[in-house]
Amino acid sequence: MTICTQPLLESLFSARLARPVRAGEVVQTPVDLVMAHDATLSLLIEDFERLGQTVRMPERVMVTCDHFAPPARIDWANLQRDVLAFVRRHGVPDLRMYQGICHQLLLEDPRLLPGTVTVGADSHTLLAGAVGGFATGLGATDILAILATGETWFQVPASVQVVLTGTRKPWVMGRDVAFHLLRHFGEDGAAYRALELWDDTGDGLSMDARAAITCMATEMGAKAALFAPDAVTVEYLRLRDGKAPELPLPPRPPADTAYVEALAVDVGTLDSLIACPFSPANVHPVREVEPVPLDEVYIGSCAGGRLEDLALAARMLSGKQVARGLKVIAVPSSVRVMGQAMTAGYLQTLLDAGVCVSNPSCGACGGIDKGVLASGDRALMTSTRNFRGRLGPRDSEVYLASTATCAASALTGRLTAPEEVWPC
Amino acid sequence: MLSERTRTVRVLVLGDDVNTDLLHPPRFFGTTQEAVLPGFLAGYPPEVAAAFRPGDLLVGGRNFGCGSSREAYVRAFRYAGVGGIIAHSFARIFYRNCINAGIPLAHHPMLYRELTSWEEVAFDSAAWHVTRVSTGDTIPLTPPPAHLQRILAAGGLLAYLALNAT
Ligand code: SF4
């Protein structure tokens, strides 16, 4: 049942429950896809076994080893051992050993389709809404209950409609659109709400750019973020799955639809943006921030290690060298992305420029793996968060920016707006 | 007269947008007490965690607990004995995680501006109010919705699941 004056998410839940569902209602619903990674799954195993539970629908589960990939410490190796034993014991078919970041693997998974309900034991599961379904993050205990029962409860969130128009400057990326939204909402402005995004931009945002935006909606407090399925979605799914998806594209809901807020963003007016320490919502134009010297530049994470990122970084660093003594690290977000970047020659270009290319994983983003900071270090990263102490000591600092800004700054060794080194 | 469910404890007052990396930085990720307890409040100067006693409450502002979904922080709260959390508003995953762990959560818009750290209060997690020991003022709190209070009353989601197993 679809009520055409509903926001997309309310239509989605109405269709699932076969009755009109409005924002604010608490609904009990089966989930289509459940993701848990090595770090969060390890937290629920003991309780799961103690309660004598079994995995209700193993074919709907994806388990990734990406946070400790591979483990650098004995205690984390032990946790991963327990995760692998759990997967074996419960016959979960889909195990991804060091195949990439969980959220990127969801995006690449044929089970993730418009209109589906996906939960993950990780806050950035919102990323999966890029293809047009409901996707949200939960803690390990909620995931335990979902593994055991196949369903969970949600309060259906009210929706904010975001319409993107205009044509981006060549160095302005999906990540900059996300920063603009972060500047608008702050760290909690979208709390308990869903962002419903419509892409009317001149050249259309790629799925990579969309994923950067839905990923970062987490930092606005949002419960979900979904791009209305359109021609870009259809083409992405066709290439991903080897066949065109059968889906009706949703019409734009009329003006009297019950949105809590409607926002129009002309992406043509945006410049490269940056989040200064210690909040992802502490956003400024890169050109207005002091060009401080840097110790590390990181291109990776579920917010910035996709093919589009590596392609642009390679283009900007081609035939050049990164600044002397600067730690520059690139981590492709999945094995598939890494393979494509290898075939296209991007990885060779990055290696030639002096970039350390590491295996697909969360890498430095989580502060538990490759690339943690030294006391007093200042880093520029495409990662999701720059909270104090996330990547190292309390006196280390992280700035967050697009891959274009990171690549420009890798060349100069200080915070640099991409247009300073453009054209390239 | 204080009932059994009421305890006199102290409050640690924190601000707005208190994120999970401050409450429990990711490098303290683990499942055991030895691994996670040293990370409790490790985003703050060390004297903060040192002063915290079992039963004490965390009191914060808007968007309390924003950031990660890692329940390692919930374990740290349990080991440290966090008696309850009162905030203007909570980040949604954090909110569910604490309810699931049986840690009482309540809303109050201004408490974090009215109380000072380490002052004593009596916390009643059944009637949902706090009483300031210094003044005797009783301040009503907004409790979680009924379906979540049932999970809290069972002692958390796992106990609730076990109770309701068919
Ligand atoms: S890349 Fe970073 S934000 Fe994304 S899942 Fe991994 S640790 Fe979390």
CA angle B74, B78, B80 (to 5 degrees): 110
Query: How many CB atoms are located within 10 Å of the residue A182 CB?
Result: 24
Ligand 1: atom nearest CA of B26 is: 7
Tabulate helix, strand, coil % of chain A (nearest 5).
35, 20, 45
| Tokens found for residue A402 | 């697009």
Q: Please give the helix or strand (H or E) that residue B12 lies within, else none.
A: strand B6-13
Looking at residue A44, which CATH number applies to its domain? 3.30.499.10
| A19 within a domain of the structure (yes/no) | no
pLDDT < 70: residue spans in chain A: 1-4
Looking at residues B118-145, what average pLDDT do you find? 96
Say if B60 is an interface residue toward chain A (CB within 8 Å).
no
Q: Which of residues 12-31 of A touch B (CB under 8 A)?
A: 26
Asked if the C-beta of A49 comes within 8 angstroms of chain B's C-beta atoms, the answer is no
Asked, for residue A286, whether it belongs to a domain, the answer is yes
Chain B residue with Cα closest to A366 = B26
pLDDT at A424: 74
Instruction: State how far the alpha carbon of A179 is from the alpha carbons of A25, A296, A387, in Å.
Output: 30, 21, 16
Q: How many domains does chain A have?
A: 2
Domain co-membership, A307 together with A410 = yes
> Which atom of ligand 1 approaches the CA of B68 most closely?
8
Are A91 and A190 found together in one domain?
yes
Tell me if chain A has a CB within 8 Å of the CB of B163: no
Q: How far is A207 from chain B (nearest CA, A)?
A: 24
Rounded (5°) CA angle A291-A297-A302 = 120
Neighboring chain B residues of A279 at a CB cutoff of 8 Å: 17
Residue ranges of E strands in B113-163: 120-124, 129-132, 138-140
Paired tokens of A342: 């290898």
User: Are A322 and A391 in the same domain?
Assistant: yes
In-domain check, residue B1: no
Answer yes or no: do A79 and B30 touch at CB < 8 A.
Answer: yes
Kindly report the length of chain A.
Answer: 424
Is residue A384 in contact with ligand 1, taking CB distance under 6 Å? yes
Judge contact between A388 and A259, C-beta under 8 A: no
Q: ipTM of the predicted structure?
A: 0.89
Give the residue from A78, A151, A390 with the most B CB atoms within 10 Å of its CB, the best one to mutate: A390
* Residue A198 shares a structural domain with residue A338: no
Asked if residue A368 and residue A220 are part of one domain, the reply reads no
Q: What is the dihedral of CA B137, B142, B144, B150, to 10 degrees?
A: 50
Q: Kindly determine whether residue B67 and residue A387, on different chains, have CB atoms separated by under 8 Å.
A: yes
> Is there a single domain that holds both residue A196 and residue A297?
no
Do the domain assignments include residue A85?
yes
* Residues in CB range of B6: below 8 A, 6 or more apart: B122, B123, B124
pLDDT of residue A160: 98
Any idea what the Cα angle at residue B101 is, between residues B100 and B102, rounded to 5°? 90
Q: A307 and A182, same structural domain? A: no
Determine the distance in angstroms separating the CA of A339 from the nearest CA of chain B, rounded to an integer. Answer: 30
Q: Which of A308, A305, A421 is nearest to A371 (CA)?
A: A305
- Cβ-count burial of A211 within 10 angstroms (0-12 exposed, 13-18 middle, 19+ buried)? buried
Residue with tokens 């007016």: A269
Q: Which two structure tokens, joined as six digits, stand for A298? A: 């990181």
Q: Are residues A197 and A280 in the same domain?
A: no
d(CA A37, CA A45): 12
pLDDT of res. A200: 98
Ligand 1 geometric centre to CA of B24 (Å)? 16
Residue B3 scores a pLDDT above 70: no
Longest dimension (CA), chain B: 49
Query: What is the SS3 assignment for A72?
Result: coil
Task: Tell me the CB-side half-sphere exposure of residue B38, using CA atoms within 13 A.
Answer: 7
Asked if the structure places residue A358 within a domain, the reply is: yes
Q: Which structural domain range is residue A397 located in?
A: 273-420
Same domain, residue pair A277 and A262? no
Helix, coil or strand: residue A87: helix
| Rounded Cα gap, residues A159 and A134, in angstroms | 12
**Residue at A115 is within a domain:** yes
Structure tokens at A107: 């995006």
Q: State which residue of chain A sits closest to B64, comparing Cα positions.
A: A188
CA distance A341 to chain B (A): 30
Closest CA to A118 of A45, A29, A38: A29
What is the per-residue pLDDT for A2? Answer: 47
Cα B54 to chain center, whole Å?
11
Residue B8 has a pLDDT of 93
Asked if residue B86 is part of any domain, the answer here is yes
pLDDT in tens, B18-72: 999 999 998 899 989 999 999 999 999 999 999 999 999 999 999 999 998 889 9
Residues A366 and B26 sit within 8 Å (Cβ to Cβ): yes
Question: Is A304 found in the same domain as A400?
Answer: yes
Q: Are residues A179 and A304 in the same domain?
A: no
**Chain A interface includes B151 (CB < 8 A):** no
- Assigned domain for A237 exists: yes
Residue B121: CATH number of its domain:
3.20.19.10
Could you tell me if the CB of A172 is within 6 A of ligand 1?
Answer: no
> What CA–CA distance (Å, rounded) separates A180 from A174?
10
Q: How far is CA A60 from CA A38, A85, A120, A125, in A?
A: 17, 18, 12, 15
Q: How far is the CA of B142 from the centre of ligand 1 (A)?
A: 34
A297 and chain B in contact, CB less than 8 A = no
Question: Residues, chain B, total?
Answer: 166
Rounded-to-integer distance, Cα A42 and Cα A171, Å: 40
Closest chain A residue to the Cα of B102, Cα to Cα: A141
Cα–Cα distance, A224 to B103 (Å, whole number): 25
A10: in domain: no
CA of A69 to the centre of ligand 1 (A): 12
Considering the domain boundaries, does residue B47 fall inside one? yes
Q: Are B111 and B130 in contact, with CB atoms under 8 Å apart?
A: yes
For residue A301, report the distance from its CA to the centre of ligand 1, in Å. 6
Tokens representing A38?
A: 């090595």
Helix H or strand E segment including A9: helix A8-17
Tokens of A347: 């990885």
Domain membership of residue A195 (yes or no) is yes
Q: CA-to-CA distance for B116 and B114, rounded, in angstroms? A: 7
N-to-C CA span, chain A: 51
pLDDT tops 70 at residue B165: no
Q: Which residues of B touch A123 (CB under 8 A)?
A: 67-69, 93
Contact A305 CB / ligand 1 (< 6 Å): no
Q: Among B53, B66, B71, which Cα is nearest to B8's?
A: B53
Q: Which of A346, A312, A303 is nearest to A421 (CA)?
A: A312
- Domain range for B72 is 6-163
Residue B84, SS3 per DSSP: strand
Ligand 1 atom 8: the closest Cα is on which residue? A366
User: pTM here?
Assistant: 0.94
| Beta partners for residue A134, in sequence order | A117
Task: Determine, for residues A389 and B25 on separate chains, whether the beta-carbon distance falls below 8 Å.
Answer: yes
Residue recorded with tokens 């807020």:
A261
d(CA A156, CA A303): 25
> Same domain, yes or no, for A305 and A339?
yes
Total domains in the fold of chain B: 1
